[in-house]
């Protein structure tokens, strides 16, 4: 049986990468879908390929969420996936000593404000039915410190905690609206492809990037999508306020032996 039959699902940042993989998986599971992104040029054909609708939605903009609520006052599943590292336009100082306040705010505005606005929309869109699933894409970086990407780590940690507040708030209202966070690490998406390149040293670069990962490889967007499908489906009805790692074992501990 297709697990998302009869559910209306919305994915942010769905034009490419993990968001697109989630949208594809939800489509395969029978969902009716709305793909949203800031990049309409890529997002529209991606949505069309799935027979889905597309909406230009910048997760930072409150009025974009208001427009979504006007067009779609009800939904069953929202995936708050859109996120940035802050390095999209090249290297910059993101350590706690040298990061600029403007860059700190920019990362939080997309990652954290975007997730807050998304959760708020979803609660209002789900409460009439009293049922639904909110899935927030955090990161491994939301669980450990990242000295060179402090704003990213801070924003992802805040998403982790806000997911639990949302889960408890909804449960406290007597609704079956669930909220959980997914914490990926090193998932091979266009974000990484730009750093790896297609040169003769591609394999060596990739191996170096996952040298600390116990499973010694990148994860795939489809592997994250499988986890999202579980959290979207009714089979996870007893799961809320939880966090799900998908990181090749990185968070399990140190690879160092006691003798090291
Ligand atoms: P990508 O950069 O490949 O895709 C992100 C998509 O979100 C892009 O289409 C991007 O558009 C869009 N986007 C950016 N800003 C906004 C915004 N303000 N409003 C709406 N859409 C926006 O990222 P990934 O697929 O790799 O990552 C998806 C999520 O997973 C992110 O939250 C990321 O932090 C998280 N994650 C990813 C990991 C990885 O290894 N890939 C590891 C841990 C977490 P545009 O390209 O035009 O900017």
Distance CA 166, CA 182 (A): 15
The answer to whether 143 and 163 have CB atoms below 8 angstroms apart is no
Let me know if 171 is exposed, middle or buried by CB neighbors in 10 A (0-12, 13-18, 19+): middle
**pTM assigned to the model:** 0.97
Determine the longest span between alpha carbons in the chain, in angstroms. Answer: 61
Residue 189 Cβ inside 6 Å of ligand 1? The answer reads yes
Distance CA 172, CA 166 (A): 10
Out of 25, 54, 82, 121, mutate this one to test ligand 1's pocket (max ligand atoms within 8 Å of CB): namely: 82
Residue 163 Cβ inside 6 Å of ligand 1? The answer reads no
Q: What separation in angstroms does the CA of 65 have from each of 56, 82, 86, 114?
A: 10, 14, 23, 9
pLDDT of residue 255: 63
Active site residue 230: no
Distance CA 100, CA 150 (A): 11
Strands (E), 84-184: 131-137, 176-184
Q: What is the pLDDT along the chain (260 residues), one digit of tens a residue?
A: 799 999 999 999 999 999 999 999 999 999 999 999 999 999 999 999 999 999 999 999 999 999 999 999 999 999 999 999 999 888 899 999 999 999 999 999 999 999 999 999 999 999 999 999 999 999 999 999 999 999 999 999 999 999 999 999 999 999 999 999 999 999 999 888 878 888 999 999 999 999 999 999 999 999 999 999 999 999 999 999 999 999 999 999 976 667 66
pLDDT of residue 91: 85
Question: Which residues on neighbouring strands pair with residue 54, listed in sequence order?
Answer: 35
Residue 118 Cβ inside 6 Å of ligand 1? The answer reads no
Let me know if 113 is exposed, middle or buried by CB neighbors in 10 A (0-12, 13-18, 19+): middle
> What does DSSP say about strands 243-246 and 8-11: parallel, antiparallel, or unpaired?
unpaired
pLDDT of residue 171: 98
| Atom number, ligand 1, closest to the C-alpha of residue 18 | 25
């Amino acid at each position: 049986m297709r697990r998302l039959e009869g559910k209306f699902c919305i994915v942010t940042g769905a034009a490419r990468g993990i968001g697109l993989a989630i949208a594809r998986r939800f489509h395969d599971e029978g969902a009716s879908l709305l793909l949203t992104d800031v990049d309409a040029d890529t997002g529209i054909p991606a949505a069309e390929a799935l027979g889905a609708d597309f909406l230009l939605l910048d997760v930072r903009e409150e009025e974009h969420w208001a427009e979504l609520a006007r067009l779609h006052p009800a939904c069953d599943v929202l995936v708050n996936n859109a996120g940035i590292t802050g390095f999209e336009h090249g290297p910059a100082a993101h350590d706690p000593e040298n990061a600029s306040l403007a860059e700190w705010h920019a990362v939080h505005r997309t990652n954290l404000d975007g997730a807050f606005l998304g959760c708020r929309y979803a609660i209002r869109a789900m409460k009439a039915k009293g049922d639904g699933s909110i899935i927030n894409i955090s990161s491994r970086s939301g669980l450990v410190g990242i000295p060179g990407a402090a704003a990213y780590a801070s924003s992802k940690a805040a998403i982790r905690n806000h997911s639990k507040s949302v889960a408890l708030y909804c449960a406290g209202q007597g609704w079956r609206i669930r909220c959980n966070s997914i914490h990926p690490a090193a998932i091979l998406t266009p974000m990484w492809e730009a750093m790896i390149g297609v040169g003769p040293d591609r394999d060596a670069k990739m191996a170096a990037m996952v040298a600390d990962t116990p499973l010694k490889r990148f994860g795939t967007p489809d592997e994250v999508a499988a986890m999202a499908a579980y959290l979207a489906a009714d089979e996870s009805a007893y799961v809320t306020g939880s966090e799900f790692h998908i990181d090749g074992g990185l968070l399990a501990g140190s690879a160092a032996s006691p003798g090291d």
